[in-house]
Amino acid sequence: MACLGLTIFCLVISVINAEHFTEDEKKVMVSTHNLIRSFAENPPAANMLEVRWDDGLAERANDWVEKCQIKNDRFINDDPGRWGRLGQNNWAGSIERFEASHGVPAWVWVQHGQEYSFKTKTCSDGVSFKECSDFTQVIMATTEAIGCAKKKCSDDESKELYVTCFYGPGGSLLFKNPYVEGEPCSKCPKEYTCNANLCVAPPAPSERELLEDLLGYLRG
């Protein structure tokens, strides 16, 4: 980064730029989501997928958090690419709180989970639509990937750090339940395995395996 010989200028730039998650932050955010998803109950989830980190979604989150707008991107599905629809959750809090627990945004997003009714597909009175949709997005069974970014956006220490996570696939869950009720893993996609009540995708084929498949096809 060019500093123009000005240390202060460099420091300002480092503060205002959005930040990618560190490897540790990625692992904690993903594991926190999967822990929450694995304990979906009342009723239990039959088709809950394990989520993984996706760099493409993280880049999308990085672009959004750069704006310092603690709200959803209303054009989120204009170019969703492979996911069809995207979901988004946002959090604002202190840097100290985030550093103490990188998964704290996810816990905040599900704090009203006990007030969600599977029967009515809504949260109880007193819980805003946003708070309810934050919860249902975290436990949306068909979501398979997340990507997040962060930025210091305010001088108010209580909400100085903004964190945005994008979900793929995700999207509106208005009047829809976030998962299928049933025995855990009883409705996993074909070839998925079960671990801690989550449907785990088969490992992606290696380049060697792909090459061997191609050679086998060419040989007839």
Rg (CA), the chain: 20
Phi-psi region for residue 18, left (φ > 0), alpha (ψ -120 to 50) or beta? beta
> In Å, how far from its chain's centre is CA 208?
31
Q: What is the pLDDT of residue 16?
A: 54
Q: Are 70 and 161 in contact, with CB atoms under 8 Å apart?
A: no
Q: With 70 as the cut, is the pLDDT of residue 211 above it?
A: no
Report all structural domains of the chain as residue ranges with CATH numbers, in order of start. Answer: 18-203 (3.40.33.10)
Q: Is 175 helix (H, G, I), strand (E, B) or coil?
A: coil
| Count of beta carbons in the 10 Å neighbourhood of residue 130 | 13
pLDDT in tens, 139-176: 999 999 999 999 999 888 888 999 999 999 997 667 78
Mean pLDDT, the chain, rounded, equals 87
Report the candidate in 175, 192, 218, 207 with the shortest Cα–Cα distance to residue 52: 192
Q: What is the pLDDT of residue 84?
A: 86
Q: Are 164 and 93 in contact, with CB atoms under 8 Å apart?
A: no
